[in-house]
């Protein structure tokens, strides 16, 4: 089975959310969902609405034999709560989701694992006529919301306000400001109960995955090039999957937030003109190539003098200085995280002359690469 380990992890997360996950192996199993759907469409995730009940449904990509995944049924509290009399209409045994975005985040993340990235699959919303056997009960009754439920709603609203503030700060790269209220954020995250909190490793991994996905979108809004977001997101996903102890999850979540803030600080292109954004992206993703002013101007089909003046106006530095800074930042990263020889580090950063590399490195860092590595390792 393709991505079997990830699939079991995915099922455990949904189980913790009280959602049923079913594997359907034949066309006969699809009949309750209606015959009008092209369920054999590859790389498509369906959201099916049927008489107030919802399902998530998709064909699983498997090299041996095709089968289908069904998530649900569930219903939405927004369609069940009467705000005038504070009564709740529900179908017994059917999970009620207060915020469907949480489910979409999980499914979207799993879709990326299956198909590579969000460009390789799509979501489709479908309403289908009621079918016999789908609705576990046709009986509805009214239940007055207990006080603890109203309290949970207040906690939920406070949590979402805090979460929105977190996303705003991350999109601005403000790690210092974010750090101030992290304890408050994680306390609310644990105590509000749209879904039951479970102190298990799998649940906490699921929380890390959702945080990783949310912060991807926040970082995207800061005009960080997708290649950097994808690289960090994949790296963090590997760390989440490798998490082996429940107490480490909190520190990992803090590290996820910190790394996305630093990514925005170092790679956000917000506020720059499209032409300068293209130059910056070309530089940060091709440090070992020819990044001279003439080469960039030719690539963009603009006059070198015009590009030079525009770059200096928008960044406050020359293109050459910007390239040098990016190359030295990457050199610092390689010196901290690898055992590569200094000459090889220089080549990775696009500088073939190791003496020139040492000179530029000392200019920006204040010490030679050799002394820097020695101090870092001591």
pLDDT at 146 (0 to 100): 45
- Per-residue pLDDT reduced to its tens digit, 25-63: 665 555 555 544 455 677 888 888 876 778 888 888 765
- Per-residue pLDDT reduced to its tens digit, 206-239: 778 888 888 888 898 888 888 888 888 888 888 8
Q: Could you give the CA distance from residue 76 to residue 78 in angstroms, rounded to a whole number?
A: 5
Q: Indicate if the pLDDT at residue 1 is higher than 90.
A: no
Percent of all residues in the chain with a pLDDT value above 70, rounded to a whole number: 75
DSSP 124-165: EEEE----TTTSS----EEEEPPHHHHHHHHHHHHHHHHHHH
Q: Could you give the CA distance from residue 56 to residue 145 in angstroms, rounded to a whole number?
A: 28
Give the bridge partners for 68, in sequence order: 24, 59
Domains plus CATH for the chain? 4-143 (no CATH), 148-267 (no CATH), 274-377 (1.10.10.60)
Of residues 11 and 66, more confidently modeled: 11
pLDDT at 40 (0 to 100): 60
Q: How far is CA 2 from CA 60, 105, 115, 120, 282, in A?
A: 9, 21, 11, 17, 35
Q: Which residue in this structure is represented by tokens 């049923």? A: 20
Strand bridging mode 81-82 / 44-50 = unpaired
Taking alpha carbons only, the member of 127, 110, 114 closest to residue 36 is 127
pLDDT at 36 (0 to 100): 42
Q: Could you give the CA distance from residue 259 to residue 243 in angstroms, rounded to a whole number?
A: 17
Q: Which residue in this structure is represented by tokens 């010490």? A: 367
Model confidence band, residue 148 (pLDDT cutoffs 50, 70, 90): very low
């Amino acid at each position: 089975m393709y991505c079997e380990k990830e699939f079991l992890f995915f099922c455990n997360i949904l189980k913790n959310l009280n959602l049923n996950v079913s594997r359907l192996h034949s066309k006969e199993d699809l009949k309750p969902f209606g015959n009008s759907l092209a369920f054999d469409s590859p790389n498509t995730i369906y959201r099916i609405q049927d008489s107030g009940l919802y399902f998530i449904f998709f064909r699983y990509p498997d090299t041996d034999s095709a089968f289908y995944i069904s998530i649900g049924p569930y219903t939405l509290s927004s369609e069940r709560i009467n705000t005038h009399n504070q009564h709740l209409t529900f179908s017994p045994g059917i999970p009620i989701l207060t915020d469907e975005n949480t489910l979409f985040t999980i499914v979207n993340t799993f879709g990326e694992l299956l198909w590579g990235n969000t460009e390789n699959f799509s979501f489709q919303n479908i309403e289908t006529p009621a079918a016999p056997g789908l609705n576990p009960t046709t009986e509805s009754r009214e239940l007055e919301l207990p006080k603890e439920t109203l309290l949970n709603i207040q906690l939920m609203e406070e949590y979402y306000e805090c979460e929105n503030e977190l996303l705003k700060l991350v999109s601005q790269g403000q790690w210092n400001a974010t750090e101030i209220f992290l304890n408050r954020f994680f306390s609310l995250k644990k105590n509000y109960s749209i879904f039951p909190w479970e102190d298990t490793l799998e649940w906490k991994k699921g929380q890390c995955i959702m945080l990783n996905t949310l912060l991807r979108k926040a970082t995207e809004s800061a005009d960080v090039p997708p290649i950097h977001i994808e690289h960090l997101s994949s790296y963090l996903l590997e760390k989440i999957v490798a998490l082996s102890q429940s107490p480490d999850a909190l520190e990992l979540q803090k590290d996820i937030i910190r790394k996305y803030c630093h990514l925005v600080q170092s790679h956000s292109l917000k506020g720059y003109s499209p032409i300068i954004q293209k130059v910056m992206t070309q530089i940060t993703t091709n440090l070992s190539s020819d990044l001279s002013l003439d080469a960039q101007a030719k690539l963009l089909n603009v006059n070198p003098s015009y590009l030079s003046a525009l770059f200096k106006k928008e960044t406050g530095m020359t293109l050459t200085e910007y390239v040098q800074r990016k190359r030295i930042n990457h050199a610092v990263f390689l010196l901290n995280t690898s055992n590569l020889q200094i000459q090889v580090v220089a080549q990775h950063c696009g500088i073939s002359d190791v003496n020139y590399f040492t000179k530029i490195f000392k200019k920006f860092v204040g010490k030679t690469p050799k002394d820097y590595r020695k101090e870092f390792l001591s």
